[in-house]
Amino acid sequence: MCDDIIKLSNELRNYSLSIGAGKIGFADLRPCSEEIRKTYGNTWDDYPCAVSIVLNMPSSVIRELALKGPTDVYARYYDVANTALDIMAMRITDWLESRGFRAFPVPASKVVKGGLYGIFSHRAAAHLAGLGWIGKSCCLITPDRGPMQRLATVLCDAPLECGVPMESKCGECTCCQRACPAGAISGTVWKMGQSVEERVDRNACSELLKNNFETCGNKICGLCLSACPWGKR
């Protein structure tokens, strides 16, 4: 049985990388089932595993934000990345379903209840899969790319070889908090089950994004990404 799980996991990992994923990881959601149910209800009870898909963003485009603020180039690649991730999630879902497993592709960028609140947390899935940790900015931070990536998730019931969550390496760093023009980041270290409000002022962030849309035509920011030291290594 263990050999079958390893074989299936390797085949899915290789397939995912072959269609464009920068990284792929598998998360066991069962230890966090109560926290997931508190946040999302029983919608995802039938999916004990998550496939976390990472697509790297161009580091040069992210770094430019520190000099110019939100740019049309960043907005364009933000949209391109989300579309690419959705296509990969659909193909991975098809791959799993064709082998008899249940799977649900969670869109890369889909918010509910006024914004900044997704139908499932891509960042939590990636963290539980051992791909990185959730920084004080609420973004996934990976050791090699910092926060310079976009994410999607496929929930499934396939028996996969799951990763081990990575501990936060943010330490006393407050670069993202100081870079936030809305003052929305509290600087609190993330932990499972913690409310979004403990980490970020969603209203302040939403207002900033609205202002950015009025001034430059895009509901984006990204300054916390460009400020993160892990993205400058």
CB 49 within 8 A of CB 155: yes
The pLDDT of residue 1 is: 60
Q: Please, what is the end-to-end C-alpha distance for the chain in angstroms?
A: 41
Question: Is residue 182 predicted with pLDDT exceeding 70?
Answer: yes
Q: What is the CA radius of gyration of the chain?
A: 17
Looking at 39-53, 135-149, 192-206, which range is the least confident one?
192-206
Range with top average pLDDT, 1-10, 77-86, 93-102: 93-102
- DSSP summary character for residue 31: G
Per-residue confidence band for 113, with pLDDT thresholds at 50, 70 and 90: low
- Taking phi over 0 as left and psi of -120 to 50 as alpha, with beta for the rest, 104 belongs to beta
* pLDDT, averaged across the chain: 90
| Maximum Cα interatomic distance, the chain, rounded to a whole number of Å | 57
Question: Is residue 215 predicted with pLDDT exceeding 80?
Answer: no
The pLDDT of residue 95 is: 98
User: And the tokens for 72?
Assistant: 């049309």
Q: How far apart are CA 165 and CA 173, in angstroms?
A: 20
Which residue matches tokens 């984006």?
A: 220
Which residue matches tokens 């960043």?
A: 74
The pLDDT of residue 66 is: 85
CB 21 within 8 A of CB 126: no
Quick one: what percent of the chain has pLDDT higher than 70? 94
Residues, the chain, total?
233
Find the mean pLDDT for residues 88-110: 95
Find the mean pLDDT for residues 215-223: 76
User: And the tokens for 206?
Assistant: 């939403």
- Taking phi over 0 as left and psi of -120 to 50 as alpha, with beta for the rest, 102 belongs to beta
Q: How far apart are CA 19 and CA 17, in angstroms?
A: 5
Question: Is residue 116 predicted with pLDDT exceeding 60?
Answer: no
Give strand pairing partners of 27: 50
Question: Is residue 112 predicted with pLDDT exceeding 60?
Answer: no
User: And the tokens for 45?
Assistant: 């009870």
Which tops the pLDDT comparison, 202 or 178?
178
Per-residue confidence band for 40, with pLDDT thresholds at 50, 70 and 90: confident
Q: What's phi and psi for 146, nearest 5 deg?
A: 60, -135
Residue type at 154? V
User: And the tokens for 153?
Assistant: 């998730």
SS3 145: coil
User: And the tokens for 121?
Assistant: 């947390």
Helical H runs in 41-158?
59-68, 72-97, 122-128
Question: Is residue 115 predicted with pLDDT exceeding 60?
Answer: no
Question: Is residue 117 predicted with pLDDT exceeding 90?
Answer: no
Q: Give whole-number Cα distances, 191 to 53, 151, 210, in Å.
A: 21, 19, 28
